[in-house]
Structure 1
Amino acid sequence: MKKLLYISLAAITFTACQPEFNDPVNEQDFYTNGDADFSNYVSVGNSLTAGFADNALYLKAQQNSYPAIMAGQFGLAGGGDFIQPLVDGNLGGLLNGGQIISGTRLVLQIDAEGNRAPVSLEGTPTTDITNHLDGPFNNMGIPGAKSFHLLAPGYGNIAGVENRNANPYFVRIASSTDATVIGDAVAQDPTFFSLWIGSNDILSYASQGGDGEDQTGNTDPTTYGYNDITDPNVFASVYNEELKALTSTGAKGVVANVPEVTSIAYFTTVPYNAIPLDTQTAEALNQAYAPYNAGLQQVQAIGLITAEEAAQRTIQFSAGQNPVVLLDEDLTDLTTVNPALTNMRQATEEDLIPLPVSSVLGTLADPDNPQSVIGVGVPLNDAQVLTITEQTHVSTAQTAYNTTIKALADQYDLAFVDVNAILKQLANGGVPFDGGTITADFGTGGAFSLDGVHLTQRGYAVVANAFIDAINKKYNATVPKVNPGNYPTIFVK
Structure 2
Amino acid sequence: MIKNIKWLLLVSLTFVACNNDDDNAAPAEVPVVPGTAVFTKYVALGDSFAAGYSDGALFKKGQEGAYTTILSQQFAAAGGGAFTIPFMSDNIGGLLLGGNVIAGPRLYFNGSAPVALTDKPTTEVGVHLTGTFNNLSVPGAKSYHLVTPGYGNVAGVATGTANPYFARFSSSPSTTVLADAVVQTPTFFSLWIGGNDVLGYASSGGIGKDQKGNLNPATYGGNDITDPTVFANVYNTLVTGLTANGAKGVVANLPYINTLPYFVTVPYNPLTSSLLGNGNATVGVATIKALNAQLYGPLKQALTAFGAGDRINLLSETAANPLLIKDETLTNLSAQLTAAFTPTLGAQTAAFYGQVFGQARQTKQTSDGTFKDYVVLPTRTVIGTAPTAANSGLGIAPPAPLDKFGITFPLQDKDVLIQSEITEIKVATDAYNATIEAVAKAKGLAFVDTRPIMAQLSNGGISFGNYTLSATYVTGGAFSLDGIHPSARGYGLIANIFIDAINTQFQSTLRRVDLGVYPIQYPKTIN
Scaled by the length of structure 2, the TM-score of the pair is 0.84
**Secondary structure in 2 matching 1:236:** helix
Alignment partner for residue 232 of structure 2, among 227, 233, 236?
236
Instruction: Give, in whole Å, the separation in 2 of the partners of 1:362 and 1:485.
Output: 40
Match of 2:300 in 1: 293
Match of 2:20 in 1: none
Q: 1:321 to 1:491 in 2, by over 3 A?
A: farther
Question: What pairs up with 1:433-452 in 2 under 5 angstroms?
Answer: 433-452=464-483
Q: How far is the alpha carbon of 1:312 from its aligned partner?
A: 2.7
On the 8 A contact 1:433/1:483 being kept in 2, the answer is no
Is structure 2 residue 373 aligned with structure 1 residue 373?
no
Paired letter, 1:361: I
On the 8 A contact 2:311/2:360 being kept in 1, the answer is no
**Secondary structure in 2 matching 1:139:** coil
Paired letter, 2:205: G
**Secondary structure in 1 matching 2:482:** coil
Paired letter, 2:109: L
Q: How far is the alpha carbon of 1:361 from its aligned partner?
A: 1.4
Instruction: Give, in whole Å, the separation in 1 of the partners of 2:197 and 2:140.
Output: 10
Q: How far is the alpha carbon of 1:363 from its aligned partner?
A: 2.5
Question: What pairs up with 1:260-271 in 2 under 5 angstroms?
Answer: 260-271=256-267
Q: How far is the alpha carbon of 1:299 from its aligned partner?
A: 2.1
Q: Larger relative CO (CA 8 A, sep 6+): 1 or 2?
A: 1
Instruction: Give, in whole Å, the separation in 1 of the partners of 2:92 and 2:252.
Output: 30
Contiguous gaps of at least 5 residues in structure 1:
1-23, 111-115, 301-308
**Secondary structure in 2 matching 1:322:** coil
Instruction: Give, in whole Å, the separation in 1 of the partners of 2:118 and 2:169.
Output: 27
Q: How many residues align?
A: 456
Q: How far is the alpha carbon of 1:298 from its aligned partner?
A: 2.8
Match of 2:79 in 1: 78
Which shifted more, 270-279 or 310-319?
A: 310-319
Q: How far is the alpha carbon of 1:348 from its aligned partner?
A: 1.2
C-alpha offsets along residues 202-257 of structure 1, whole Å, 9 cap, x if unaligned? 00000011110000111111111100000000000000000000001110000000
What RMSD over aligned residues (CA atoms) do the two structures have, in Å? 1.8
Q: How far is the alpha carbon of 1:262 from its aligned partner?
A: 0.3
Instruction: Give, in whole Å, the separation in 2 of the partners of 1:318 and 1:382.
Output: 28
Match of 1:205 in 2: 201
Contiguous gaps of at least 5 residues in structure 2:
1-25, 274-283, 339-350, 366-371, 389-396
Instruction: Give, in whole Å, the separation in 1 of the partners of 2:226 and 2:464.
Output: 36
Is structure 2 residue 247 aligned with structure 1 residue 247?
no
Question: What pairs up with 1:166-185 in 2 under 5 angstroms?
Answer: 166-185=162-181
Question: What pairs up with 1:3-152 in 2 under 5 angstroms?
Answer: 30-110=31-111, 116-152=112-148
Q: How far is the alpha carbon of 1:362 from its aligned partner?
A: 2.3
C-alpha offsets along residues 368-403 of structure 1, whole Å, 9 cap, x if unaligned? 847512210121101110011100000000000000
Match of 2:380 in 1: 358
Q: 1:163 to 1:318 in 2, by over 3 A?
A: farther
Percent of counterpart pairs with the same letter? Answer: 47
On the 8 A contact 1:315/1:346 being kept in 2, the answer is no
C-alpha offsets along residues 106-157 of structure 1, whole Å, 9 cap, x if unaligned? 00123xxxxx211110111000011101121111110000000000000001
**Secondary structure in 1 matching 2:334:** coil
Which shifted more, 275-284 or 70-79?
A: 275-284
Match of 2:289 in 1: 283
Q: 1:431 to 1:59 in 2, by over 3 A?
A: same
**Secondary structure in 2 matching 1:321:** coil
Match of 2:489 in 1: 458
**Secondary structure in 1 matching 2:96:** strand
On the 8 A contact 2:303/2:311 being kept in 1, the answer is no
C-alpha offsets along residues 39-67 of structure 1, whole Å, 9 cap, x if unaligned? 11101000000000000001111001001
Which shifted more, 257-266 or 432-441?
A: 432-441
Question: What pairs up with 1:316-355 in 2 under 5 angstroms?
Answer: 316-337=315-336, 338=338, 339=351, 340=354, 341-349=357-365, 350-355=372-377
Q: 1:345 to 1:492 in 2, by over 3 A?
A: farther
Scaled by the length of structure 1, the TM-score of the pair is 0.89
C-alpha offsets along residues 328-371 of structure 1, whole Å, 9 cap, x if unaligned? 01111111333424211111120001111101212333698475
Q: 1:178 to 1:478 in 2, by over 3 A?
A: same
Question: What pairs up with 1:400-411 in 2 under 5 angstroms?
Answer: 400-411=431-442
**Secondary structure in 1 matching 2:43:** strand
Question: What pairs up with 1:474-489 in 2 under 5 angstroms?
Answer: 474-489=505-520
Q: 1:31 to 1:223 in 2, by over 3 A?
A: same
**Secondary structure in 2 matching 1:140:** coil
On the 8 A contact 1:31/1:480 being kept in 2, the answer is yes
Instruction: Give, in whole Å, the separation in 2 of the partners of 1:376 and 1:332.
Output: 21
**Secondary structure in 2 matching 1:358:** helix
Instruction: Give, in whole Å, the separation in 2 of the partners of 1:124 and 1:351.
Output: 37
Which shifted more, 394-403 or 328-337?
A: 328-337
Q: How far is the alpha carbon of 1:317 from its aligned partner?
A: 4.4
Paired letter, 1:299: F
C-alpha offsets along residues 246-289 of structure 1, whole Å, 9 cap, x if unaligned? 00111000000011000101011000111222221111111121
Alignment partner for residue 501 of structure 2, among 432, 449, 470?
470
The structure with more helix, counted as a fraction of residues: 2
Instruction: Give, in whole Å, the separation in 1 of the partners of 2:82 and 2:466.
Output: 30
Match of 1:18 in 2: none
C-alpha offsets along residues 422-452 of structure 1, whole Å, 9 cap, x if unaligned? 1111111212223311110011110010000
